[in-house]
Amino acid sequence: MELKFWGVRGSIPTPAPENLGFGGNTTCLELRLGNGEVVLIDGGTGARKLGLDLIQRAEGKSIDIDILMTHFHWDHIQGIPFFAPLYSPSNHVRFHTTKAASEAKNILEGQMTHPYFPVGFDLLAAKRDFSTLAGSPSHTLCNGGLKVYPFPLNHPQGASGYRLESNGAVIVHACDHEHGDPSLDHVIRTHSEGADVLVYDAQFTPEEYEIKKGWGHSTWLEGVKVAKDAGVKQLVLAHHDPSHTDEFLRAVLDSARQQFDQVIIAREGSSVIL
């Protein structure tokens, strides 16, 4: 599997010069399997450029794709109206979420209604399906090549993490989570057990967190603790705060590496290959 980051920022896009080394687009990840099939995680503003890339790589062929939605806060859906594959009738896009399928459809339609957007969701030409991922059992995507295990995160209005398994490789995505709930912290550790890659919410430093408790986000230090407890091979710190510049994030990485060697900062355009 190849996991590529197209959007790494949390809360709001930050296209400022001091942030562009790590990236200013909001959350969007591409998981490409060995057979070429593609799964997205979230549709933040990074989805715009990803959509254009998918069309270029398709070379005129139809695009068949799955999108795992962690939740529906703006920074995770703002790129969907600009996701170019949705505008071609030859393409098929499936949205997967732990919400009821009808609720997810209504939410995405809602951000593309008057006066927020000039094109209604119902006018998108691609075939669109919605499915509900129930609690803990696994779900199979991509012609059986990917097993998906959803799990709950501690975030205002709720969010979902995902354990993704294919051909013995394991990726866990656990962003938009606030540590401190013992049961949900245990759930993350259980689902991260032995993972090759853990993408973890590190929006705040431990110092910042002291005045931002209840905001729904965690810290690089908690990410390190999870990685150590669960025997994770590679920790990726993600969902960067809008105020965190490239210089700031490099300092975060230095601090994290003093606690755990195998840690990197999510950067737009970078990939982790398993």
Domain boundaries, the chain: 2-271
pLDDT digits (tens, 9 = 90+) for 93-144: 999 999 999 999 999 999 999 999 999 999 999 999 999 998 667 888 888 7
Rg (CA), the chain: 18
Q: How confident is the model at residue 73 (pLDDT cuts 50, 70, 90)?
A: very high
Taking residues 178-201, what's their average pLDDT?
98
Peptide bond into 115 cis (omega under 30): yes
CATH assignment, 2-271: 3.60.15.10
Q: Would the pLDDT of 245 be above 90?
A: yes
Q: What is the pLDDT of residue 143?
A: 81
Report the pLDDT averaged over residues 33-45. Answer: 95
Inform me whether the pLDDT recorded for 7 exceeds 80.
Answer: yes
Averaged pLDDT of the chain: 96
Please give the average per-residue pLDDT across 203-218, as a whole number.
Answer: 97
Q: Quick one: pLDDT at residue 220?
A: 98
- How far is CA 78 from each of CA 186, 234, 258, rounded to the nearest angstrom? 31, 29, 36
> Given the structure tokens 């006066």, which residue do they identify?
115
Q: For residue 71, what pLDDT is reported?
A: 97
Would the pTM of this model clear 0.85, i.e. be above it? Answer: yes
Residue 234: pLDDT above 70?
yes
